[in-house]
Structure 1
């Protein structure tokens, strides 16, 4: 999940991570080999990393270093949101909110070495949250370390976390915030703060900023999942 209060510090420190990332990728890049003529049939494409029950949605775009557009995962969002009984538009809007940082697997792992409590995956989920959400679910045997590589798993975990947050909301809520607003705030700030907002506490500047971005992304998210 995103941590708006540390966003400025993150932006200042990200330069360091980028440098380390470039060095790591350079070290891992093999020397170019002399081209050889092809003999026989071409090899089949290497399968993706998805495995087990959480891979039942079907093929999804692979995590790459190219620019990331949450709309490319609309099919996965619709499926996972339906399974969890939550709004697909909300799941997608949160993905847009969480797209503020590079979502390249190698970059995320380099950054996590520098900042061990960093979040993983396109939904920016922390280890403790993932380990709690996966209990009793089809992806219970999956690891938080897989989130950067398996974007469908990240979406699945996000959807079920929103489901779990919704189950905690009281029926009577003396607040002008909608249920989607409260769930987004819960995703960003935790269940305790979500319940405080539901009781009428006014969101602070950081939480309000997250909510404002959600509203700005709302129509775009709805259009992305409409198909």
Structure 2
């Protein structure tokens, strides 16, 4: 892939390498010598004991959350459930997860990365703090914190689905631009609601937004198979 999206990814890789170094240091500090495998319920480096306990007890914490094993399709049941609750397309929710899956989503790694990049997004749906805090208002997860997103993937999917719901509520009844509703919602998810409305009125997406939409289209069929398979 070339263009702005590829450049952004190259910049991200540089930051990720630095975050990996921080991650290794933090991980080593929290792992007993002679045992490289944390015991069940072991607190994620950087997380509070209460957060770790919640993650251990939560039935939505599985499948395993290691970056190496992550496949959005593993979360098809959660995607179907949360998309239905928010009245949005499950295929769209899944396709966005595929779009965001190029980043490592190990909780400790995400927290190490945030130490270097405080405005980083959290969770498998890559949501920023301000967006999460806005979306959760009046919802069943209103008492949950943004810091939980790396540990609770169901919460990340729930917040993503409701954000897409809120973006859909901002769309006009009709628009002149040659985009489907799902196209515009994906653009809004990536570039924000103001840009989504500008694109609906006919503004041309920049390179990064265009690349995001191209990736969505490339992931669309795979996302559909994931949410319809048992």
With structure 1 as the length reference, what TM-score do the two structures score? 0.87
- The residue that corresponds to 1:86 in the other structure is 88
- 1:65, distance to aligned residue in structure 2 (A): 4.1
Is 2:179 the partner of 1:177? yes
Is 2:129 the partner of 1:127? yes
2: CA distance, partners of 1:67 / 1:209: 26
Is 2:77 the partner of 1:71? no
Contact kept, 8 Å, 1:50 with 1:150, in 2: the verdict is no
How well do the aligned residues superpose, as a CA RMSD in angstroms?
A: 2.0
Q: Which moved more, 1:204-213 or 1:136-145?
A: 204-213
Gaps of at least 5 residues in structure 2 are 42-52
- The residue that corresponds to 1:42 in the other structure is none
- Runs of 4+ residues over 2 Å off in structure 1: 3-8, 45-48, 57-60, 64-67
Q: For each residue in 1:45-100, what CA deviation from the matched residue of structure 2 results, as whole angstroms up to 9, or x when unmatched?
A: 7576277xxx6x86631322433100000000000000000000000000000001
Q: For each residue in 1:121-148, what CA deviation from the matched residue of structure 2 results, as whole angstroms up to 9, or x when unmatched?
A: 0000000000000000000000000000
Q: For each residue in 1:137-175, what CA deviation from the matched residue of structure 2 results, as whole angstroms up to 9, or x when unmatched?
A: 000000000000000000000000000000000012001
Q: Secondary structure at the match of 1:177?
A: coil
2: CA distance, partners of 1:65 / 1:175: 37
Q: Which has the larger radius of gyration?
A: 1
- The residue that corresponds to 2:108 in the other structure is 106
Distance of aligned partners of 1:72 and 1:102 in 2 relative to their CA distance in 1, 3 Å threshold: same
Gaps of at least 5 residues in structure 1 are 34-44
Q: Secondary structure at the match of 1:49?
A: helix
- The residue that corresponds to 1:40 in the other structure is none
